[in-house]
Structures are given as C-alpha cells and as structure tokens.
Amino acid sequence: MEICRDHLARALAQIDPGYTLVSVRPLSRRAQLLVVSARDQATEPLALLSHSPADRLGNPDIARDEFRLLTTLRQGELAVAQPLYLALDHAPPYFIVSWLPGSPRHSADDRLAFCRRLAALLSEIHAFSLASCDLSYLSQQADRLTEYLGATKPAGEPIHDAMRQSAHSIKPNATVLLHGDFWLGNLLWQGDKLSGVIDWEDAMLGDPLADLGKSRLEMLWALGEAAMADYTKAYLALNPQLNASALPFWDLWGAARLAHYASFASDPGRVAAMRRRYKSFVRAAIDALAVGQE
C-alpha cells in the first residue's frame, strides 16, 4: 500500500511535532518500515501496518480493532508494539506503531527448552484477563466455526466431514483471547529474549485449543513431529484445567484454516514436504476423532 508523503508527514507530526520522514521501505505484505528523524537529527525506525482488501472486506473496522487491541495488550504488559497513531481518515486506513527489534527464530539448539518457552508464551496470551478490559469488538471464534460447519462443501471433503460428525460431542473450554496466527514467524527475538509478538489482525475470542491446534501444525512444519509433541505436552502441562480431549477437532480446524499452505513456500521441495506433513496431521486427527466417537 502506497501512502503519500504529505499524509505520512501529517501523521508523524501527530506522534511528535519534531519528526521528519526520512525513508519508507516495504517489509512484508502489510508492514512498512518508516525511518524518521527527530529534532536532534537522530533517526529511529517505526512500523506502518495496513490490511489487505480481503481482510478489510471481512472486517471493515480491522485497522481500528487491531490498534485498539494493541493498546489494551500493551497496557496489560504483553510484549507487543506500542500503538502510536491510527489513520482512519486514509483510504485504506493504517496505523503506526513503535519498532520492535529482533527477528523470528526458525530453529533452536535446545529444542525442548524452546518448545517450553513457546508453550509458556501462548499460555501467557491465553491467560490475559478478559474481565479487566472490553474486547467485545473482537470476533467470536465460535461464530466462525459455525459458519464453516454450515457451509456447503463437496461430498467427501475429509476435514469438513469429520468436524461436522463430531461437533455435537465437543465440550468447549472457557473463552480466552486467541492470537489467531501463533507461529514462529510472528515472534521476534533478540538472542534468547523475546522482543515482541506481532500480527494480531486475526485475534478473536474462543477456545484456547483453537490456537493450540493451528500452532501445532505450524510447529510440525517448522521443527518436526518431536518438537510438536514437546510443545503440546508443555502447553497442556501449563494448563491442566483444560479439557484436551477435543484437541483433534481443533487440529482439524487449524488445518482447515491453513489449507492454502502451498502459498507459503515457493520451493517445490518445501511444498512437497509441507504437503506430506499436512496429510499426516489431518489423518491423525481424523483417526483420533473416530476413536473418540466409538
């Protein structure tokens, strides 16, 4: 998304009258790096975030909602960027946040320790107090699930069929804040220290196992089956109050949301490996649900 420099200059002036825009550089499909200078001529980075047309179609208020959520999470001392300015007068809307240093980690020398750290981080997100703030503007994961299960699908679509057949027996856990896209690419690190969790545009309220199931598949792709098992065990140990019997159901929900995995990697070999792991993940979840229905 291109934003005229005059509009950016006005936005930056609202953050700090001494800011001057030095440069703009794309970082990802929704993020741009803004380099600004202050009165002392020292430069500093900021991040500009926007949303795709598809995201805005699904939620016309997505920029406002994500900015509002980040404000709340920051006040709750979660490791997120500081929201600085929301531009609702621009088409499309965007917002500016503080710069989070660091980069994603896609491997670990100590796999078990890393998996435990990730499980603790997801648990921290799920433990965020809903009683202390108003997050009613976030979408309800249950509504999205109902829409998916009620949709007309071709006969013989394994994930949809298995979920519809077992949905009546699923006992939901207490509603928590879900990140919605918890995976290694959305976690920034400086060495062994987490600097921040990014990309909250898919956040919603729902069953914590929905986040766990989707992130389990991401872990399988990134670090393999043993790491996925370590991560799952660590998360469930930290959350003994959960009824984990429905995890295969939420595994399938995660797989349904990640069915476009082939777009994640341009390398054919990488796509083929992801396909094999995806199929084994789905098959294991369907088989586990079938056992549970006996």
Long-range contacts of the stretch 76-80 (C-beta < 8 A, 24+): 76/128, 76/129, 76/132, 76/133, 78/124, 78/125, 78/128, 78/197, 79/194, 79/195, 79/196, 79/197, 80/196, 80/197, 80/198, 80/200
Residue 106 domain flag:
no
pLDDT score, position 290: 86
Q: Do 129 and 251 belong to one domain?
A: yes
* Residues contacting 182, CB < 8 A, separation 6+: 122, 125, 211, 214, 215, 218
Q: What is the pLDDT of residue 197?
A: 98
Task: Identify whether residues 136 and 158 lie together within a single domain.
Answer: yes
> Do residue 277 and residue 184 come from a single domain?
yes
Domain, as residue range, for 257: 111-293
- pLDDT, residue 49, reads 97
pTM above 0.75, yes or no: yes
Of 67, 54, 72, the residue nearest 94 (C-alpha): 67
- Domain boundary pick from 71, 98, 125: 98
- Please check whether residue 137 lies inside any domain of the structure: yes
Query: Residue 255: which of 211, 217, 200 has the closest Cα?
Result: 217
CATH of the domain at 25: 3.30.200
Q: What is the pLDDT of residue 262?
A: 83
Both 283 and 199 in one domain: the answer is yes
Q: At what angle do helices 208-223 and 268-293 cross, to 10 degrees?
A: 140
The secondary structure element, H or E, covering residue 191 is none
Looking at 76, 98, 120, which one is the last position of a domain? 98
* pLDDT recorded at residue 293: 64
Same domain, 65 and 201: no
Put the strands of the sheet holding 139-140 in their side by side order.
Answer: 139-140, 204-206, 176-178
Judgement on whether residues 173 and 197 belong to the same structural domain of the protein: yes
Domain end residue (candidates: 98, 121, 149): 98
Are residues 92 and 59 part of one domain? yes
Number of domains in the chain: 2
- pLDDT of res. 176: 98
Q: What share of the chain is helix, strand, coil (3-state, %, to 5)?
A: 50, 15, 35
Contact 243, 283 (CB under 8 A): no
So what's the pLDDT on residue 284?
97
The SS3 call for residue 26 is: strand
What gap in Å lies between CA 29 and CA 279, rounded to an integer?
Answer: 28
| 272 shares a domain with 153 | yes
> How high is the pLDDT of residue 120?
98
> Does some domain include residue 104?
no
Same domain for 162 and 80:
no
Residue 194 lies in a domain: yes
The helix or strand, by DSSP H or E, that contains position 217, with its residue range, turns out to be: helix 208-223
Does residue 196 form part of some domain? yes
> Is 103 among the domain residues?
no
CATH code of residue 153: 3.90.1200.10
One domain, residues 274 and 246 = yes
Kindly state whether residue 60 falls inside one of the protein's structural domains.
Answer: yes
Residue type, 190: Q
Whether 47 and 91 share a structural domain: yes
238 and 178 within one domain: yes
Write the pLDDT tens digit of every residue in 225-245. 999 999 999 999 999 999 999
Amino acid at 278: Y
Residue 51's SS3 state is coil
72 touches 118 (CB < 8 A): no
Single-letter amino acid code for the residue at 218:
E
Say if 209 falls within a structural domain.
yes
- In the predicted model, residues of the chain with pLDDT beneath 70 are 1, 154-155, 292-294
